[in-house]
Amino acid sequence: MKGGVRAGLAVKAIVVVIFTSMWFRCVSAFAAAAAASTINTNHSVGGASGWDLSSNLQAWATHATFHVGDSLVFRYTPVHDVLEVKKTDYDRCHTVDPMETHDDGETVIQLKEVGNRYFICGRLGHCAMGLKLHVQVFPAQLMTNNATSPTAPPPTTYDHHHDHPNDNNNSSHGMMQPSPPPADSNYSNNNDAVAAKTSSTSTTAAAGAAFLVVVFFTMHAVAEHSAS
C-alpha cells in the first residue's frame, strides 16, 4: 500500500516540476519580449540648464517627442519648484491650487497616459518669465526588427486633465509641435526601467514556482500521514 502511495507521489512530483519549469520559462520569455517591444526615454527637462529661468524650454520641447512610458526629469535649485496644473492655470500662470507640487530638486514625472500635461514654476513671477512647460504625450514608442517606429499620434488632442479638447488651440503659451529629436538631444533610453520590469516579473514567476513546490510537499505530508 505504501509503495503504491509513494509511486503516485513520485509521478505527481515529476508533473509539478515539469509544469513549474515550463510556466517559469513562459513568463520570463513574455516579460523579456514585452520589455524589448517598447522604448522608454528619460527626458531631462531644459537640457543642460535644467528647470531654470536661463533655459529655453519651448525650444527644448520642440526637439523632443513624448510617449507613454517616458519620464520627465526636472532638475532645479531651491529657488524653483514644479507645479502640475490644469490648462487654464497654465495659461494664466495661476499657482494657488496646483494638482501636484514638487520641490525635491530632482523630480521625475512618469507619462502614463496619452494627452496633455502642464507644468509651471510656483515661485513669484517665474511662470510669467517663461518657466513653464506643456507636453503632449503620444502612444508608446514601439521597437521593430529593423528600426524604431513610433506609433502614429492621435488625430485629436485630448487634455490629460479633462479640459476641453479645443482649448489647446486657444493657448498662446508654450505650444509645441513634436518633431523627431536630433542625435545629440538631452535624453537617453530608460534601460534601467526596462531591466527592473523584467526582473520584477521574473521574481514573481519564481515566487509562484516556490508556491507550487510548497503545495506539493504539503500534499506529500498529508499522503504520508494518511498512509500511516
Q: What is the pLDDT of residue 174?
A: 40
Domains of the chain: 42-138 (2.60.40.420)
Secondary structure of the chain as H, E, C letters? CHHHHHHHHHHHHHHHHHHHHHHHHHHHHHHHHHHHHEECEEEECCHHHCCCCCCCHHHHHHCCCEECCCEEEEECCCCCCEEECCHHHHHHCCCCCCCEEECCCEEEEECCCCEEEEEECCCCCCCCCCCEEEEEEECCEEECCCCEEECCCCCCCCCCCCCCHHHHHCCCCCCCCCCCCCCCCCEEECHHHHHHHHHHHHHHHHHHHHHHHHHHHHHHHHHHHHHC
Q: What is the pLDDT of residue 142?
A: 78
Which residue, chain included where needed, has cell 502614463? 112
Between CA 101 and CA 147 the distance in angstroms is 38
C-alpha cell read off for 22 = 515550463
Tens digits of pLDDT across the chain (228 residues): 555 556 666 666 666 666 666 665 655 555 554 544 678 999 999 999 999 999 999 999 999 999 999 999 999 999 999 999 999 999 999 999 999 999 999 999 999 999 999 999 999 999 999 999 999 999 998 776 554 444 445 444 444 444 444 444 444 344 444 444 444 344 444 444 444 444 555 555 566 666 666 666 666 665 666 665
Q: What is the pLDDT of residue 111?
A: 97
| Vertex 32 angle, CA 42 and 149, to 5° | 55
- With a threshold of 0.85, does the pTM exceed it? no
